[in-house]
Amino acid sequence: MENANKLQIVYPDEENGASHPHCPHGPTLLFQTSNQLADKPKSAYYACAAHRDKRMCSFQLLAEELTPQKLSRRYELESHIKSCKEQREKLLAVHDDAGLHYCLHCNIPLLRDEHRKHTGHEMVWNLTAELLCDPTRFLRPLDDDKSQAQYFFDDKALKFFAKCFQDLVVNKVVCMGAPRLHAFLRNNYAEIQSFLLDFDHRMFFFYDDDNFAWYNMCNNHFFDTKQHLNFEKFLKCKSKDNLLIFTDPPFGCRTEPIAGTLRQLTCTFNKLNKLPHQPLPIFWIFPYFSEHYIQQEMPHMRMCDYKVNYTNHSAYTDVGEKSRKLGSPVRVFTNVPLELLHLPVEEEYKYCALCQRYTALENRHCARCSNCPSKNGSTYRHCELCGLCVKPNYKHCTNCRRCTQTEEHECQMYQANQHCWICLQKGHTEWMCVEWQKHRKDVVKRSDKIITCLLCKRKGHNERNCTRRSKYLEELTFMGVTTVIFK
């Protein structure tokens, strides 16, 4: 079964009573290995929401060892926050470019003579006003993919995002883990207010509490009370205001906690503005191959074809010798209708009149699938034996009933990672679906020319795309999880 012995995450929701013990990085996540066969958790423990590497945060507590004392414990960070704010005052006090430097080794700003204590350290000398307005142009990017990996958008991506905000008449943007976008908006678009939520404490040095909060996006935790209050003021909107949440999480993050935070921020927005449940527009930057995981958590999110480039990642760009032939794999996932996003034709995007949205130039419309199916930057082709469009280098395996990569393909191993198009469970394909075998009345013969739907017995499509699917199956969806009941 798909969820047997699967590591699941329980998101902390202290506002509604689901309290978790704290580590220095805020409320922890509850990790539990569920065993559906035994109908009870096999094991459960609390661990840091921000760091999966124990060298970064060693906190781990078995759920059975949780006590009221451990639940109520909080970690003192006020002295660290005070120190960061004092360092920020240095920057505000300096009025000439020759009076301020930055030590990249110690990650602190330095005044004129303070650099003598940092002999041998790599320095940025004489910080200009231009650099101070965008610290991502000189700070060393953090490089822990699991918690703090920083990849900074290139200028094309920044201009695309800003153009989208203008087209959507957005005048407030929450930049969650997107410091370069925050700086870009502040420096170039006076009509768009931006508030930065970031785990990087270095941002303390460059931004005031009225537009920055030291923040953990994996548990919606604010480290500083004053910053939290200022953020809530930012969320309060007038009738003409339109607010959007923009998030660029580390790609090693699980999607469950990020989705949980987005839901919490939406609830807070509605509560502060005394609104019934109203979804906020969201831009979530993530690789295209994570689409399934995002839609499991947030089914209304759709992937836009725009390929997001970074300046400091050799593969996540279309520039340089190490760039991918098919372009960056990073995409924009959004609940904004895709037809409202105008992709730049000068960057090789086009408008598909049949889909009524902009798509990548290589993404050709398939009349049989009724969409532009490409995900990875290649031109897909329609497979008659699958009943859908597939990557151009894939070959069909009759036994698996799928097109797959030919190298190192083993049917048993491959099928164990597939989702059945009938019951939607992971671990088998349709021919091996035990639940369907209990209910079907006759056997469909395998065809080596065109796919035959096992539900309606008609040729040319698979069970997932069967228009008569509801006749045979009842599907109930809750919180992104769909349960199939056979009629």
Instruction: Please state whether beta strands 357-360 and 349-352 pair in parallel, antiparallel, or not at all (unpaired).
Output: antiparallel
Extents of the domains making up the chain = 6-72, 78-132, 155-360, 381-486
Between CA 273 and CA 280, with CA 279 as vertex, the angle to 5 degrees is 75
Look at residues 220, 240, 118 and name the one whose alpha carbon lies nearest to residue 177. Answer: 220
Pairing, β 29-35 against β 40-47: antiparallel
Residue 74, number of CB atoms within 10 A of its CB: 9
Residues 6+ apart with CB under 8 A from 160: 306, 343, 344
CA–CA separation, 59 and 24 (whole Å): 9
SS3 430: helix
* pLDDT value at residue 1: 35
> 3-state SS of 341-396?
CCCCHHHCEEEECCCCEEEECCCCCECCCCECCCCCCCCCEEECCCCEEECCCCEE
Q: Tell me how crowded residue 332 is: count the other CB atoms within 10 A of its CB.
A: 26
Q: What is the predicted pLDDT for the residue at 34?
A: 64
- What gap in Å lies between CA 484 and CA 271, rounded to an integer? 35
> Which amino acid is present at 23?
C
- The tokens of 285 are what? 């930057």
What's the CA gap between 437 and 426, in Å, rounded? 16
> What span, in angstroms and rounded, lies between the C-alpha atoms of 284 and 262?
10
- What does pLDDT average to in each consecutive run of 10 residues of the chain (487 residues)? 62 79 94 64 86 88 93 92 87 71 89 82 88 91 67 94 97 97 97 97 93 96 96 96 96 92 96 92 96 91 96 75 83 97 96 96 93 94 90 91 89 91 90 86 73 88 88 77 80
Q: What's the topology of domain 155-360?
A: Rossmann fold (3.40.50)
Are the CB atoms for 341 and 353 separated by under 8 Å? no
